[in-house]
Each structure stands twice: as structure tokens, then as C-alpha cells.
């Protein structure tokens, strides 16, 4: 283990800014007070220029010293081992953090992202996955009605990932779900999220400036 | 921590048999030689009869003594902490097992399951997610061309989950991917998989017999 380096793209179009998943890693580091450096792969040719580091041609990925890790969910869980601020240390707290992390990625995002993809691919918000999204989000709304944070009565990486999945504009606008909306607001009002978000926007804005000066 | 109890449905229709996700937990326990008991929730009313245990009304879920965990991916990772047979104990081996577990659930299954859902919902195999499935599976084929198992040169829960995602009939039939097919064959030829699979089929067959005798 050693120095943390978050890898992202050197530039992306305006659309995904604020939503590139390096934000999950930045956010986790900010919550835990872990120092990190940001490095980049070129946006040009991004789908093939770093397949040796990320087999699907995506960002982010992480260096922890010599250790290389991809998948934002795995990177965040790896970071969570470094700080009790990100995950409780008792067996139940750890198991339930893991449970809700997987729930965010494999029960919610597994439905919301393909639904969103169909929506922006021209099939609209009422597509073949809408009913499934509706059902999953309704169940989650029930959970969030009963608690402030998902695990152990306090913020963990489970909230970080769940909030990041839920804060997508089209998902946030899906139906009337006041407990979920309050949860997303609570999570994204945290100083660590705000810093991570601002830093990502600044990173890509700096790349705009560099492009303009060429 | 204490006795392991896997919870599944008391009965399911023929279609999903062999694919209900309690198989992932059975398989992990069999690989590690962990003793477990199987208990059930009624299939009738399954979407609402155990929301206090699984917020989406699904199975499986797990008891480890008093500890309750849902999400098959989280249950398998929890079991992996109990046996080095399921996950290496060195930091790199552990991080890369986590990486490929999340990859199975959040990069592959996130695309294949919604694609399959659209297919069986009447949109056919050539639906709005087909191109995305094709791309992800092609990248994974490249990875599997170069290695026998995903992590550390030997079977881990990363292979367990990836193989379980890939062995779905429609996914297995998607394109010509010889390395992936060989990987799925290798994983599902393991005695622990065969026992888990046979035990799940036997569990539901016994429920058929009980129903018939009523």
C-alpha cells in the first residue's frame, strides 16, 4: 500500500461532468481525509488506450502504491478499509455496509442505468425497464422513510454509493419519493461531496482552458 | 457469528430452477466446506411476505448466527471472509477478488440481466441493450483468453459470481466467445457447483412432491 492515485479522463464533454465515477473515489477520500493525486488517460481513444488497466476502457481506476484496482465500487470498498469513517469496524456494521453497497450497485443501479440508457437512446422515459425501476425505487423509498442513513445510524460508503446512484437527474425526477429525495439532499450537502464535485468540475474546466489555448 | 442459514423460496416454477441465486451461496459454502442449513419463505406472496428481511422481496438472504445479510453478492463476499479457499488473504489478492466480484455484478450483470429481461418481455434478443452487451462480453472474452481464473491464478468468489452471471442460457448463447465458454464450463464442472446445482433442483423437486400430495 502507498500513495493513492485516482485515474480519470483528461477531458470529457459537458454532459457527464459531475457524474464521472471518479467522483465516488474523490468523495470517499474527502470523507476519510485520505490524501490523493489525480492522473489522467486521454479522452481521445479512451475506449482502447488503457485496456491493460481497465478491461472495459472505462474510468476511474485507482493506484494504492503498486496495487491497481478498477471498478468504482471496488475502489470505494478498498478505500473503506483504510478509515472507520467510511465503514464501521464491527462485523455487523461491515457486513451491512457491504450489503447496501452491493444493493446500490446490483439492485438499484443495475436497473436505473440501463433504463436511463434506453431513455437517452431514444426510447423515452417510458421504456421496457420503467416498471422495474418503479418497483425497485418504491421499495427503497420505504427503507429510506425509516432511517436517515442505510447502516449503523451514520454515513458510510453504502450511503455514498447509493446516493451517487440516486442523484442522477433522470432518476431523481422519477416519481414522487420524498424520503429518497431527502436522502440524496442529505448526502450531497456533505462538505466532502461538495468538494469532490467542485474538484471534478474544475478538473474538466481546466482541460477546456488548455484546449482553448492550443 | 454462528450457524449459517441460507434462505430461499419454498417453491418456484420450473423456469428459474437452477438459477435462483441461493445457488451462489450454496456454491460458496460447498467450495469452502462450510456447513449450512436451508430455510424458506413461501413463494406465495413472496414479493411482500419478507420485506423486513429483504427490502425488494427477493431471495436469497443469509443468517450467520444473529447476523442477517441480503444481496447474494454481499452474502458471497461475507462467506469469503471465512475461508481462504474463496478469497486470497494477501491485500492484492483480496482487492482483486473484490474488483472482479464488483465487475461481475456492476459491469456485466448490470447489462446482461436488463438485456435478458427485455428479451423475455417480448422485445427479442436484438433490443436496445444488445450493442452494450456485445461490447462488454467482447472485452471480457479478451480477459478470459489470457487467463484460466480471474484472480491469483486460482478459483475465487470472483470466478463464482462471474461464471454464475455468464452461465445464463441466453448469455451463454450470445455470440461466439470460446474463452468465455471454456471459463463457464470450467467453473460449472467443479464438484461444488454440481452439488449446489443438484441440491437446488432437489429442493424444488421435493416441494413439487409435497404439493402433489396435498
pLDDT digits (tens, 9 = 90+) for B61-109: 999 999 999 999 999 999 999 999 999 999 999 999 999 999 999 999 9
Same domain, A115 and A68: no
Q: Residue B214: is its pLDDT beyond 80?
A: no
CATH number of A164's domain = 1.20.1050.10
B71·A115 Cβ contact <8 A: no
Same domain, B80 and B120: no
Query: Percent of chain A beyond pLDDT 90?
Result: 95
Chain A residues with CB under 8 Å of B99 CB are: 69-71, 74
Does B191 lie at the interface with A, CB-CB under 8 angstroms?
no
Same domain, A186 and A197: no
Does A127 lie at the interface with B, CB-CB under 8 angstroms?
yes
A2: exposed, middle or buried (Cβ count in 10 Å: 0-12, 13-18, 19+): exposed
CA distance B204 to chain A (A): 25
A95·B118 Cβ contact <8 A: no
Beta-carbon contacts below 8 Å between A and B? 125
Same domain, A141 and A164: yes
Task: Tell me whether the omega of the peptide bond preceding residue A60 falls within 30 degrees of 0, making it cis.
Answer: yes
The total of structural domains in chain A comes to 2
Residue of chain B nearest A56, judged by CA positions: B139
How confident is the model at residue B193, as a pLDDT?
98
Alpha-carbon distance values, B5 to A97, B11, B30, B56 (Å): 20, 17, 13, 20
Does A4 lie at the interface with B, CB-CB under 8 angstroms?
no
Query: Percent of chain B beyond pLDDT 90?
Result: 95
Same domain, B95 and B163: yes
CATH number of A199's domain = 3.40.30.10
List CB contacts of A169: < 8 A, sequence separation 6 or more. Answer: none
Q: Residue A196: is its pLDDT beyond 80?
A: yes
Q: What span, in angstroms and rounded, lies between the C-alpha atoms of B102 and A51? A: 17
Same domain, A96 and A178: yes
Does A132 lie at the interface with B, CB-CB under 8 angstroms?
yes
Q: What is the pLDDT of residues A166-195, one digit of tens each?
A: 999 999 999 999 999 999 999 999 999 999
For an interface test with B, the pick among A102, A135, A183 (most B C-beta atoms closer than 10 Å) comes out as: A102
Mean pLDDT (whole number) for A23-30: 98
ipTM over cut 0.95: yes
A91·B128 Cβ contact <8 A: no
Same domain, B124 and B184: yes
B102·A71 Cβ contact <8 A: yes
Same domain, A142 and A64: no
Q: Residue B43: is its pLDDT beyond 70?
A: yes
Same domain, A176 and A200: no
Half-sphere exposure of B135 toward its Cβ, with a 13 Å CA cutoff?
11
Nearest CB to A102 within list B1, B71, B135: B71
Same domain, A185 and A201: no
CA distance B132 to chain A (A): 10
Residue of chain A nearest B78, judged by CA positions: A95
CA angle B62, B15, B70 (to 5 degrees): 15
Same domain, B47 and B123: no
Nearest CB to A55 within list B55, B110, B143: B143
Domain with A203, as residue range(s), is 4-85+192-212
Q: What span, in angstroms and rounded, lies between the C-alpha atoms of A205 and B138? A: 33
What is the pTM assigned to this prediction?
A: 0.97
Chain B residues with CB under 8 Å of A131 CB are: none
How confident is the model at residue B167, as a pLDDT?
98
Residues 150-189 of A with CB under 8 A from B: none
Same domain, A28 and A38: yes
Amino acid at each position: 500500500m502507498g500513495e493513492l492515485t485516482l485515474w480519470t479522463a483528461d477531458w470529457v464533454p459537458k454532459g457527464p461532468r459531475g457524474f464521472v465515477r471518479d467522483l465516488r473515489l474523490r468523495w470517499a477520500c474527502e470523507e476519510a481525509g485520505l490524501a490523493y493525486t489525480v492522473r489522467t488517460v486521454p479522452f481521445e481513444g479512451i475506449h482502447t488506450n488503457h485496456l491493460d488497466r481497465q478491461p472495459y476502457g472505462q474510468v476511474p481506476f485507482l493506484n494504492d502504491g503498486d496495487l491497481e484496482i478498477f471498478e468504482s465500487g471496488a475502489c470505494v470498498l478498498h478505500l473503506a478499509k483504510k478509515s472507520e469513517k467510511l465503514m464501521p469496524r464491527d462485523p455487523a456494521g461491515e457486513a451491512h455496509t457491504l450489503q447496501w453497497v452491493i444493493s446500490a450497485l446490483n439492485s438499484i443501479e443495475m436497473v436505473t442505468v440501463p433504463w436511463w440508457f434506453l431513455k437517452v437512446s431514444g426510447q423515452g422515459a417510458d421504456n421496457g425497464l420503467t416498471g422495474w425501476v418503479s418497483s425497485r425505487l418504491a421499495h427503497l423509498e420505504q427503507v429510506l422513510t425509516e432511517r436517515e442513513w442505510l447502516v449503523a445510524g451514520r454515513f458510510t460508503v453504502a450511503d455514498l454509493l447509493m446516493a451517487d446512484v440516486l442523484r442522477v437527474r433522470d432518476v431523481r425526477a422519477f416519481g414522487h419519493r420524498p424520503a429518497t429525495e431527502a436522502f440524496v439532499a442529505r448526502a450531497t450537502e456533505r462538505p466532502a461531496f461538495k468538494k469532490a464535485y467542485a474538484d471534478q468540475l474544475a478538473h474538466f474546466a481546466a482541460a477546456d482552458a488548455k484546449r482553448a489555448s492550443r
